[in-house]
Structure 1
Amino acid sequence: MPTQTQALVVDQVGATPVLTDIELADPQPNGAAALPERRHNLCPNKDTAQLIPRVRVITEVLVRITACGVCHTDNLIQHGGIPSAFPSILGHEGSGTVVAVGSAVTRVQPGDSVLLSYSTCGECPYCQNDRPAACQNFFVQNFGRTRNAAVGSEPVAKAVATGEAIHGTFFGQSAFGRHALVVESSVVKVSPGTDLVQLAPVGCGLQSGAGVLLNKFKPSPESSVAIFGLGAVGFGALWAAVHLKIKTIIVVDLFPSRRDLALSQGATHGLAGNSPSLLADIRALTGGMGTQYAVEATGVERVLRTAWEAIANFGHVCSVGNPGPGVKGPFDINDMVNTSKTWSGLAEGDSNPPIFVPQLMRLYEQGEFPIQSISKVYPVERYDEAIADMKAGTVIKPIITFK
């Protein structure tokens, strides 16, 4: 039976989200049997590796949402930076409690606490080889509003007042609502008693930043890294670098308060992003060479160029910030060849959420992933205030709560 609930609905490109009464469809019951469980081959500790149910078909879970982090990508969709269907429910850093499941669901059951992350097809070679962040169908699964093989991109909800269809399934979840119809591959089961408010943002920006260090670079303690942009992605990268005891951690941001916070949490140097001596300062801090690694977390082309110029020969810049389609990398191929530098992108930190999210949760519990230091919690009725604070730079990670 459809669920009557409320969600923040964006009617059209550029419109302000409005808390709207909606009727949410039931979880799709269809689907083939799950694939056999197997140990994840990227788990850093083989002795404690979990058996994770792998999902081949796109089955659905109804979740009562506790909280959802606000991410730059939500704003990008809202304002047309990435094409999308409207009216639309956004939100892709959700948490909550499972209410109901489709009959083929294997990962969770009603009553389970969950954190939500990105969606994958479960069928392509990358998904089958435990690299779901490289899913060949990543864009369709997370931006195409694909629900289930039986219904395709059919909207998940309709407005109670008008009957107008409303699209969900953003990153498989659309968690800006009191309930969400979630694709099973987006669901990560967590223990009862998990802090579902503070940990809600782990499933996207924070894991994306942390994964650059923990899954991609895997630097030695003697390494040097520069982190450009201290939003949630940048702080995720910082905390991972501190956890790895990296010798030189340079953070670059326009806001002095963010640089000061990063320095208090383990960064070795903080530099202003608009400083005319930025490149010279980075080289001075690295013996004239530049850093071995750089994380570009803003999605701004000129910042990416600076990151490129800041790394040493044989250095590696990884883009995590996403400006949307059509923006080209500002590099000269001759320069790349002659300096032997590497530029790469990375989606979702190359994480497998059922493995990586609990890893970050453990760091949080140990005080090494202090999400509370960059977050502020707002009830859904104060969503506009949360967005204003984020744009003003007074809050790094707003978290919206639902009751």
Structure 2
Amino acid sequence: MTKAQAFLVKGVNAPFKLADVELDEPLENEVLVKITACGLCHTDFLIPAGIFPSPYPCTVGHEGSGTVLSVGSAVKSVQKGDSVLLSFAHCGECGYCKEGKVAACKEFYERNFGRVRNPSAGARPVGKIVGDGTEVHGTFFGQSSLASHCLVVESSVVKVPSSTDLSLFAPFGCGLQSGAGAVLNLFQPKRDETIVIFGLGAVGFGAFWAAVHLGIKTIVVVDLLQSRLSLASSQGATHTFLGSSASLVADIHAATGGMGAHYAVECTGVARVLRSAWEAVRNGGKVCSVGNPGPGVAPPFDINDQVNTSKSWCGLVEGDSNPPEFIPRLMKLHANGEFPVETISKVYPVAEFDKAVEDMKKGEVIKPIISFV
């Protein structure tokens, strides 16, 4: 058993509480990681909100980083002492995984939201609360890294150089790669095309920095906070608009030659924002939803409109990335000064977790990172 401290959620609408837990030994496909840092993502808060079903009590966190303490008998990609970043889980066996399209894994939901550790263990708890022995469920996105230590499935582990700043790069495992992948992996726009990004959270900045990297001629960004628009403007956005503007769609059309953008990345998961994205692209344009409102929300446009305008809309999970390949690519961009994650992030000690959450909800920080060291 490994003693750890973890932020637990004990039920729907229950607050995060730091608790002492004892973790089981790693299963054959798992890695025990001492967590250095974990980025906070809005998806973590969908679990206490009850938007996605979950067993309780449980741990979340899916933008972790740390050092390997031990590995299961079947683990081959890392060993004790390795520095790692953590990302989403996949089965490794289905046709999509074998094609290298791991974000399209047939078991994506089960492995990331269903907390499946492996086919034989299923969603077995990862440990117990010290004192009362209540079982604790982990394996959120294959990791549950909002803790001092966690059991991570091997498919969620990305080995990185020992010199890596693990606090700085922790958020690369989800939000940033999701946004960047929409541009670099899905759209792959040409330099003379136009793109509009709705929502400048970590996902939106990931998409924005990817567009700047590609040298896209016209990059439009939309957000409700002027501070975020100003930051994007200083980093290469050609046009910035407040999402609350009554003339938003008309302004985007004017900024893109009167026709609308070739591409739109919707990063908020809000249906009315998706409608604006749909209206902001030209006939034949493409809209991608990266933000997720949770189950039961229908897209706010009809098939007739879609057919007659020849527009395309799709969803995209985790940027259609293969983390062991894509995360190092983003790290290289950062080394070249093109992916400045430090301009949107702030590190908080464990004792300031509640402040980090409050600052995130107020919009005072875009990407809070909880440090466990």
TM-score range, shorter chain: over 0.9
Which residue number in structure 2 is paired with residue 96 of structure 1? 66
Structure 2 counterpart SS, 1:327: coil
Query: For this pair of structures, how many residues does the alignment match?
Result: 373
1:281 Cα offset (Å): 0.5
Which residue number in structure 1 is paired with residue 23 of structure 2? 24
CA distance in 2, matches of 1:366, 1:207: 17
1:141 Cα offset (Å): 0.5
Which residue number in structure 1 is paired with residue 371 of structure 2? 401
Structure 2 counterpart SS, 1:282: helix
Find the partner of 2:209 among 219, 230, 239.
239
Structure 2 counterpart SS, 1:197: helix
CA distance in 2, matches of 1:198, 1:378: 12
- Alignment of 1:6 onto 2:29: no
Letter in 2 for 1:240: A
Superposition map of 1:111-260 within 5 A: 111-260=81-230
1:161 Cα offset (Å): 1.4
C-alpha distance after superposition, 1:59-88 (max 9, x if no partner):
100000000000010011121111111101
In structure 2, runs of 5+ residues without a counterpart are: none
1:341 Cα offset (Å): 0.1
TM-score computed with the length of structure 2 as normaliser: 0.99
- Alignment of 1:296 onto 2:296: no
Structure 2 counterpart SS, 1:63: strand
C-alpha distance after superposition, 1:139-191 (max 9, x if no partner):
00000011123321110010001100010000000001000100000000000
Letter in 2 for 1:99: L
CA distance in 1, matches of 2:240, 2:157: 37
CA distance in 2, matches of 1:74, 1:96: 19
C-alpha distance after superposition, 1:10-65 (max 9, x if no partner):
11111111110000011013xxxxxxxxxxxxxxxxxxxxxxxxxxxxx1000000
Superposition map of 1:36-115 within 5 A: 59-115=29-85
Superposition map of 1:267-286 within 5 A: 267-286=237-256
CA distance in 2, matches of 1:4, 1:394: 34
CA distance in 2, matches of 1:324, 1:78: 13
Which residue number in structure 2 is paired with residue 363 of structure 1? 333
1:332 Cα offset (Å): 1.1
1:287 Cα offset (Å): 1.6
In structure 1, runs of 5+ residues without a counterpart are: 30-58
- Answer with 69-78 or 232-241: which moved more: 69-78
Letter in 2 for 1:307: A
CA distance in 2, matches of 1:78, 1:117: 21
C-alpha distance after superposition, 1:331-380 (max 9, x if no partner):
11111000000000000000000000000010111111100000010011
C-alpha distance after superposition, 1:77-123 (max 9, x if no partner):
12111111110101000000000000110110000000000000111
C-alpha distance after superposition, 1:208-249 (max 9, x if no partner):
000001000000000100000000000000000000000000
Structure 1 counterpart SS, 2:167: coil
C-alpha distance after superposition, 1:120-142 (max 9, x if no partner):
01111000100000001100000
Q: Percent identity?
A: 64
CA distance in 2, matches of 1:14, 1:333: 37
- Answer with 4-13 or 237-246: which moved more: 4-13
Letter in 1 for 2:239: H
CA distance in 1, matches of 2:85, 2:234: 29
RMSD: 0.6
CA distance in 2, matches of 1:78, 1:234: 24
Structure 2 counterpart SS, 1:185: helix
Letter in 1 for 2:25: D
Which residue number in structure 2 is paired with residue 42 of structure 1? none
- Alignment of 1:311 onto 2:281: yes
